[in-house]
Structure 1
Amino acid sequence: MTEEICYMCRRPESKAGKLLHLPPNITICNDCLQKTINAFNSYPMADYFNMNGFTPDMFSGVNGGNGADVNNNGYNKDGVVATADNDGDKPVEGQDGDKKDDGKQSPPVFSFGFMPDMFGGQSNLKKKPKKKKPKAEIDFNNIPAPHIIKEKLDEYVIGQELAKKQISVAVYNHYKRVAAEKNRKEEDIEIEKSNMLMIGPTGSGKTYLVRNLARLLQVPIAITDATTLTEAGYIGDDVESVLSKLLADADNDVEAAEHGIVFIDEIDKIAKKKNTHSRDVSGEAVQQGLLKLLEGSEVEIPVGATSKNAMVPMATINTRNILFICGGAFPDLSDIVKARLNKQAAIGFKADLKDKYDKEENILSKVTTDDLRKYGMIPEFLGRLPIVFAVDELNKDMLIRVLSEPKNAILKQYEKLLELDEVKLEFSEDAKEIIAERALERKTGARALRAIIEEFMLDIMYEIPKDNNIGKVTITRDYIEGKGSPVIEVRT
């Protein structure tokens, strides 16, 4: 007696165990069936079934796919059941369970219920072709000088002169170091990288500064945040997921990713928790996990995913030549700085007043590593971030400039929107002042500007498309304060 074999692994029933019988005439073992189910989540359907000898016809027709014009549910386009002897144009005898004249019952219709798109068939969805970033060879000739980088940043970022200088010099030195590494001889001096820590209140432009740096440089830059990081990825992502984003930005080019820049925002959220009696998986443990990345080590990361599993290929990245920039708002850090500065206040003629630094606008510019250690950052972590600088808090004059001077200023965006309706939009100087004053009251920095403008621009954006005779709209302070209306001019 001939023994049945598994359709996929070709093992006989004596070795594979009890075989399952699937129409049309397919026998499969439990192991292969389980592997098939597991593969649904990781392989495209067409690639997987073609790899194992399956074809779409097996699942659309009967007994190997003999049904022409039959969909995956066993019905033709007119909704009539299709069988091997009938393509679905008309019902057959015995369809309701009756027997045919020859005494044989009509063959059963088999379908997995898969959509045609799962087998690589026709689809109405069009995939957008991915743009490949131009790769710039890292050498001494194409490294932009610090003053050129700063000039480009000046077009987008208002103020923050110290921060722009620090970043420009750090990026320039970083790529000089990378270029020198390629030609370094054994007796040459080895240059260490200088990671940075950027401190500043919310809305002061920390992330915006790095985003524009990424726009200007032809190098891979990953911008991520530390809020989702946990030790070994207990709930969120592990620390190595920041490199997965860098590799994705480099189009999975490991060599390009090893010369990239990583910006980790909200770094203050992983500060050591105070008075905690449970395991700190999202605080000090994350800082310890980041140590090896900041210092430089070989790390295995998944390609095309943020978590490691058996179905995802792995790539090894050396972080020795990756520049890390960390940024955070560090709320209440100013209180620690003031407490340190007021330690020498005492009774006497030369004593400092205790409220001397209460009205200091940029108190964070006086921060030291001791202040950060008291805040909750471990010494090993701070030691791997040798450059620490503060971003200035935006004042009224800076907010007014932010409204209209940058290349993609908020007011320029609204002017462009109304220009598409052939309407000219203008803001008076006193209107800009009241917007800046209200933004200061919200204490969220430049982020408050758009929220304020959205409030009073709602009615204008709603009413203007109604009247084609409007040619110009001027926003005044009285309109923003609710005491008047905008100045509207009719087209000539």
Structure 2
Amino acid sequence: MSDYRNDDENKELTSQTVADDHKTEDKREDEYEKYCYLCRRPESVAGKLIDMPGNIHICADCMQKTFDNLNQGGFGGMQFLDLSNLSNMGNIDMSRLMGMNDIPDKQKVKKKAAKPKKKEQEMTLATIPAPHKIKAMLDEYVIGQEYAKKVMSVAVYNHYKRVLTDSMDDIEIEKSNMLMVGPTGCGKTYIVKTIAKLLNVPLAITDATTLTEAGYIGDDVESVLSKLLAAADNDVEKAEKGIVFIDEIDKIAKKQNSNSRDVSGESVQQGLLKLLEGADVEVPVGSGSKNAMVPMTTVNTKNILFICGGAFPAIEDIIKARLNKQSSIGFRADLKDKYDKDPNILKKVTNEDLREFGMIPEFLGRLPVLFTLDALDKDMYIKILKEPKNAILKQYKKLLALDEVDLQFDDSAYEAIAEKALEKNTGARALRAIIEEFMLDIMYQIPRDDSIGRVIITGDYVNGKGNPIIELRGVEPMQIEACATKQS
């Protein structure tokens, strides 16, 4: 009897050990990402994988390619789902495939820890900030561009009132899509990002240069909504109240004097018409292109706010040509070069100028709010360096503060940086490159020397004519300043 009991106990122990091994194996598998058996991409890159017998996982792209090959006669002319031809495949040893797919742990990627989702407050009429409050919030981040900030604050406020009330009595409020025109680096994209952040709504920023007519290599116009859907965590209802910013809109202007097919110009403008006005559009979920393996959903664009922006290079010449037509002959006639040195010539832009540039009238008619942004001058550059909440110089001050060093800039340094930025003529983007250049040596040397307590950047140092003023810890500032002056 005791032998039988021992055998039973051994069997129970063995089964318990096997169960524990399975649990350990499952736990280990949960820690690491699954890989596609064919293309070897992890699940975080390839998307949801299809589980097959023998612990094999295949991504949707590879599965689609396999189906395409089968349907094209790549497997002896066998048609997809013709199970009668699978009789010869019954002898496949799945254990061998399992061994082939067994990737060692050192080659696997661990799964990222899931971040706890924040509870988002639903937007209501009571919680929408008034235009003056939206502008006040923008003022903390964006310097200048007073008119543009005012226009956008009113347009966004009216749009979300329209979305939340849907319709009042029998009066239906139309959408207030926007078209902003401004030179490069003046803050077009930055203003849109800031508004979406303040209102906590889904925002999709896309580039018009990648859009082409349907059927050609490139993105279809529906890919704009795919990005918005992804920004809303695939929540269609949330995406239908979002904002889409299409940058570089001037790149889809109608090509002038071209005999080739215009697949990325006028045809893209025509494709965007239904999106701008409001229509039910079939959108691929989790992909920028449509194919048989990608699920589709319908998104209504009636309540989506579209903002288009572009630099429209050389449109100043079109504006000048229109204004000079009005000049006459005589003592009080306007001169031909009257507008050549006008820094705010862009403010005189009209729909007529945009049509001359290559934008079709139907497209412009669906963007009723047209406004321009100012080119940056020296004073605006200095304010951009000093005032915004996340000003670039504040970022450098914080970086050095982590090394317990106080970084300061005198007035001559601000002016020197602004003058260099004006010369580059690329807007606020030039500031980062200029500052990186003269801060390189300082950022390299400071971690080596614990005795440095303060660094003062001067205009001469920015211009490459001197050294920064360095103050050591526990030493009188005036002595170090004098030494630095002698060295320079």
TM-score range, shorter chain: 0.7 to 0.9
Counterpart for residue 10 of structure 1: none
- Higher Cα radius of gyration: 1
Deviations 1:201-226 (A, max 9, x none): 00000001111112111211111110
Residue in structure 1 matched with residue 54 of structure 2 by the alignment: 55
- In the other structure, the counterpart of 1:316 is 298
Match of 2:318 in 1: 336
Aligned counterpart for 2:459 among listed residues 463, 473, 477:
477
Count of residues in correspondence between the two structures: 400
User: Quick check: 2:328–2:334 contact (8 Å CA) kept in 1?
Assistant: yes
1:281 aligns to what SS in structure 2?
coil
The aligned residue for residue 449 of structure 1 is 431
Over the matched positions of the two proteins, sequence identity in percent amounts to 68
Closer/same/farther in 2, CA of residues 114 and 44 from structure 1, 3 Å limit: farther
Matched, 1:413 2:395: yes
Could you list the per-position Cα deviations for residues 376-408 of structure 1 after superposition, in whole angstroms to 9, with x for gaps in the alignment? 000000000011000000000000000111000
What residue in structure 2 maps to residue 64 of structure 1?
none
Opposite residue 248 of structure 2, the aligned amino acid is: E
State the Cα distance separating 1:131 from its structure 2 match: 5.7
Alpha-carbon distance in structure 1 between the residues aligned to 2:96 and 2:382: 70
Is 2:421–2:427's contact at 8 Å kept on the other side of the alignment? yes
Q: Report the 3-state secondary structure (helix = DSSP H, G, I; strand = E; otherwise coil) of the residue aligned with 1:175.
A: helix
Q: Is the 8 A contact 2:412 2:458 kept in 1?
A: yes
Find the partner of 1:173 among 138, 149, 158. 158
Matched residue of 1:301: which SS?
Answer: strand
Distance 1:376 1:57, change over 3 A: closer
Query: Given that residues 410 and 458 in structure 2 are in contact (C-alpha distance below 8 angstroms), is that contact kept between their aligned partners in structure 1?
Result: yes
Partner of residue 11, structure 2:
none
Further displaced range: 354-363 or 131-140:
131-140
How far residue 55 of structure 1 moved from its aligned partner, in angstroms, is 3.5
Distance in 1 separating the partners of 2:141 and 2:175? 27
**Alignment partner for residue 139 of structure 1, among 124, 145, 149?**
124
Q: What is the SS of the residue equivalent to 1:471?
A: strand
Q: Is the 8 Å Cα contact of residues 54 and 94 (structure 2) preserved in structure 1?
A: no
Query: What SS is found at the alignment partner of 2:51?
Result: helix
Distance 1:194 1:114, change over 3 A: farther
1:39-93 CA-to-partner distances (Å, cap 9, x unmatched) read: 9997755x421xxxx13399xxxxxxxxxxxxxxxxxxxxxxxxxxxxxxxxxxx
Contact 1:135/1:219 (8 A) holds in 2: no
Give the whole-Å Cα distance in 2 for the aligned partners of 1:483 and 1:370: 50
Q: Indicate the structure with greater helix content.
A: 2
Q: Which residue of structure 1 aligns with residue 140 of structure 2? A: 155
Q: CA deviation at 1:233?
A: 5.4
Are 1:132 and 1:251, in contact at CA under 8 Å, matched by a contact in 2?
A: no
Q: Which runs of 5+ in 1 are unaligned?
A: 1-35, 59-106
Counterpart of 2:114 in structure 1 is: 129
2:289 aligned partner, one-letter code: S
Taking the aligned partners of 2:38 and 2:412, their CA distance within structure 1 comes to 66
Letter of the 1:438 counterpart: K
* Whole-Å separation in 2 of the counterparts to 1:396 and 1:268: 27
One-letter amino acid of the counterpart of residue 212, structure 2? T
Contact 1:134–1:218 (8 Å) recurs in 2: no
Tell me by how many angstroms 1:275 deviates.
Answer: 1.0
Check 1:37–1:460 CA distance in 2 against 1; reply closer, same or farther (3 A cut): closer
1:396 corresponding residue in structure 2 = 378
Q: Counterpart in 1 of 2:232? A: 250
Q: Residue type matched to 1:418 in 2?
A: L
C-alpha change, 1:483 and 1:373, in structure 2 (3 Å) is same
| Equivalence map 1:33-432=2 (5 Å) | 44-45=48-49, 47-49=50-52, 54-56=53-55, 110-111=96-97, 114-116=100-102, 124-130=109-115, 132=117, 134-181=119-166, 184=167, 187-232=169-214, 234-432=216-414
Write the distance in 1 (CA, Å) between the matches of 2:106 and 2:463.
60
Deviation at 1:349, TM superposition (A): 2.1
**Offset at residue 271 of structure 1 (A):** 0.5
**How far, CA to CA, are the matches of 2:223 and 2:421 in structure 1?**
35
Unaligned stretches of 5+ residues in structure 2: 1-36, 58-92, 475-488
User: Which deviations, in whole Å up to 9, do the C-alpha atoms of 1:11-53 show, x marking residues without a partner?
Assistant: xxxxxxxxxxxxxxxxxxxxxxxxx9799997755x421xxxx
CA change 1:168–1:43 in 2 (3 A) is closer
**Post-superposition offset of 1:113:** 5.5
The list of structure 1 runs, each at least 4 consecutive aligned residues, that deviate by more than 2 angstroms after superposition, is 36-45, 55-58, 107-118, 120-124, 128-139
What amino acid maps onto 1:56 in structure 2?
Answer: N
Q: Secondary structure at the match of 1:372?
A: helix
Q: Is the 8 A contact 1:296 1:320 kept in 2?
A: yes
Which amino acid counterpart does residue 223 of structure 1 have in structure 2? I
How big is the shift at 1:355?
A: 1.1
Q: Residue 214 of structure 2: SS of its match in structure 1?
A: helix
How far apart are the structure 2 equivalents of 1:132 and 1:294?
Answer: 32
Residue identity in the other structure for 2:51: Y
> Hey, what's the Cα distance between the residues in 1 that align with 2:56 and 2:321?
77
TM-aligned CA deviation for residue 306 of structure 1: 0.8
Q: RMSD between aligned alpha carbons?
A: 2.6
TM-superposed CA distance for 1:135, in Å, is: 3.6
Contact 1:427 1:475 in 2 (8 A): yes
Task: With the length of structure 2 as denominator, give the TM-score of the two structures.
Answer: 0.78
TM-score, scaled to structure 1: 0.77
